[in-house]
């Protein structure tokens, strides 16, 4: 310190203070005009310091996951359209059902359901028109609900005489009502009690036989039997029940 100040020392000292003071001044007074465009990098900005106020959202690109949000409305519309289509189909189905019901009603000729019996079932059976003996007698068909079986029959069992078609009617119920037998041309021709078998002769001879079998249940079995040129008996039974 004893050394005298020289011109060089003074100039150096002043330069140092100017440099330090100028740096501080620049740091406090820098504006956007002092920054060259595209020179500030992301690394120069502190993390999590920029918010909505500092950012113009319109200038940002769409976030990939936001695209789903954009199409969500369309998806809802599509879903609603599917529901609407299904509703249309449901209406069509109802119309089809109503149309089918109307067609069925038309077939019933306007009659109420009580005017008709339940659907019938048809049975078919065939056997020899003249079995050799009792053990050769064959069941043509049976109806458990009515409790009857229809068989062919030997002349010895039926006692109808040669050349006359005979049939056997068996009441398969162990107890209960008797089976009533009606012939097409003769009316009632007999009854068959539970667990019994009876034989009936055709009033027309050898080629055909028509019977109706019924009991207290109001079920009925309509039977038509014919004998073909091959001497084979063929029978058709139509079931009916209330």
Band of the pLDDT at 32, cuts 50, 70, 90? confident
Contacts of 17 (CB under 8 A, 6+ apart): none
Which pLDDT score, from 0 to 100, does residue 128 have? 93
pLDDT mean across residues, the chain: 79
Q: How far, CA to CA in Å, does 7 sit from each of 2, 12, 25, 83?
A: 15, 9, 27, 96
Pair of tokens at residue 203: 């009033």
Whether 11 has a pLDDT exceeding 90, the answer reads no
Mean pLDDT across the stretch 179-195? 92
- Return the higher-pLDDT residue of 229 and 169: 169
Band of the pLDDT at 183, cuts 50, 70, 90? very high
Mean pLDDT across the stretch 173-199? 94
- Return the higher-pLDDT residue of 14 and 213: 213
**Are 172 and 240 contacting, i.e. CB atoms less than 8 angstroms apart?**
no
Strand pairing partners for 187? 183
Mean pLDDT across the stretch 172-182? 96
Which pLDDT score, from 0 to 100, does residue 137 have? 94
Three-state DSSP string of the chain: CCCCCCHHHHHHHHHHHHHHHHHHHHHHHCCHHHCCCCCCCHHHCCCCCCCCCCCCHHHCCCCCCHHHHHHHHHHHHHHHHHHHHHHHHHHHHHHHHHHHHHHHHHHCCCCCHHHCCCCCEEEEEEEECCCCCHHHCCEEEEECCCCEEEEECCHHHHCCCCCCCEEEEEECCCCCCCEEEEECCCEEEEEECCCCEEEEECCCCCCEEEEEEECCCCCEEEEEEEECCCCEEEEEEEEECC
Band of the pLDDT at 203, cuts 50, 70, 90? confident
Mean pLDDT across the stretch 146-158? 92
Domain residue spans in the chain? 121-240
Whether 224 has a pLDDT exceeding 70, the answer reads yes
Question: What is the spatial distance between Cα 37 and Cα 99, in angstroms, rounded to a whole number?
Answer: 78
Report pLDDT digits (tens) over 67-113: 666 665 665 666 666 666 666 666 666 666 666 666 666 666 777 77
Question: What is the spatial distance between Cα 165 and Cα 7, in angstroms, rounded to a whole number?
Answer: 160
Whether 27 has a pLDDT exceeding 60, the answer reads no
Band of the pLDDT at 52, cuts 50, 70, 90? low
Band of the pLDDT at 8, cuts 50, 70, 90? low
**Percent of the chain predicted with pLDDT > 90:** 37
Which of 20-34, 96-110, 170-184 ranks highest by mean pLDDT? Answer: 170-184
């Amino acid at each position: 310190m004893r050394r005298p100040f020289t011109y060089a020392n003074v100039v150096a000292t002043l330069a140092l203070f100017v440099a330090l003071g100028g740096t501080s001044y620049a740091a406090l007074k820098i504006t956007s005009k002092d920054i060259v465009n595209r020179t500030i990098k992301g690394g120069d900005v502190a993390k999590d310091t920029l918010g909505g106020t500092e950012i113009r959202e319109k200038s940002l690109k769409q976030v990939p996951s936001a695209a789903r949000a954009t199409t969500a409305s369309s998806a809802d519309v599509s879903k609603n359209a599917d529901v609407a289509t299904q509703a249309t189909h449901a209406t069509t189905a109802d119309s089809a059902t109503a149309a089918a019901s109307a067609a069925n009603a038309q077939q019933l000729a306007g009659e109420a359901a009580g005017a008709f019996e339940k659907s019938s079932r048809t049975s078919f059976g065939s056997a020899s028109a003249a079995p050799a003996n009792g053990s050769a007698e064959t069941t043509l068909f049976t109806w458990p609900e009515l409790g009857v079986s229809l068989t062919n029959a030997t002349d010895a069992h039926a006692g109808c005489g040669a050349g006359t078609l005979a049939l056997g009617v068996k009441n398969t119920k162990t107890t209960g009502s008797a089976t009533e037998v009606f012939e097409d041309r003769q009316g009632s021709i007999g009854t068959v009690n539970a667990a019994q078998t009876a034989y009936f002769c055709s009033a027309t001879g050898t080629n055909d036989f028509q019977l109706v079998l019924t009991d207290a249940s109001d079920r009925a079995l309509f039977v038509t039997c014919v004998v073909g040129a091959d001497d084979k008996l063929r029978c058709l039974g139509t079931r009916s029940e209330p």
